[in-house]
Amino acid sequence: TTITFQIHDGSEQPIDAETGIPLMEAAVENDVPGIDGDCGGMAACATCHVYVDEAWRQKLGERTPAERAMLDNSFDVKENSRLACQIPVTEELDGLRVEVAPS
Ligand code: FES
């Protein structure tokens, strides 16, 4: 599943994400700068905060309750903010584009 991250310097990093794992883990495995996953995917650190491309927001569904609680206490949160650890990679996400939020 190919997912493209726009990183802080404005460049784009496409990764080949393994299906079935959280997007945060796929990003960490592929050394995407700015995605740290400090809490190990518990929706408790927001170091995996991304902005989802508008065209993809619906497909990803709703934020999880833990994710919502975390984002309520995070910085630079936008309508299209998601925590990448709460997004399971599926084949349907092929072509997804996200932007890494400022840390
Ligand atoms: Fe900590 Fe996603 S890895 S909130």
Q: What is the residue-level pLDDT of the chain in tens, covering all 103 positions? A: 999 999 999 999 999 999 999 999 999 999 999 999 999 999 999 999 999 999 999 999 999 999 999 999 999 999 999 999 999 999 999 999 999 999 7
DSSP codes, 63-86: PPHHHHHHHHTSSS--TTEEEGGG
Distance 28 CA to ligand 1 centre (A): 11
Cα 66 to averaged position of ligand 1 atoms, centre (Å): 10
Question: pTM (2 decimals)?
Answer: 0.96
Domain ranges for the chain, please list them: 2-100
Q: Is 32 left (phi over 0), alpha (psi -120 to 50) or beta?
A: beta
Burial class (CB in 10 A: 0-12, 13-18, 19+), 91: exposed
ipTM for the whole complex: 0.99
pLDDT, residue 103, reads: 79
CA distance 24 to 28: 6
Ligand 1 centroid from CA 42, angstroms: 6
Q: Is 15 in the pocket of ligand 1 (CB under 6 A)?
A: no
Assigned CATH topology for domain 2-100? Ubiquitin-like (UB roll) (3.10.20)
Please identify, by atom number, the ligand 1 atom nearest to the C-alpha of residue 67.
Answer: 4
pLDDT for position 52: 98
Confirm or reject: Cβ of 66 under 6 Å from ligand 1. no
Phi-psi region of 11 (alpha: psi -120 to 50; beta: other; left: phi over 0): beta
- Ligand 1 nearest-atom number relative to CA 48: 2
* Ligand 1 atom with minimal separation from the 83 CA: 2
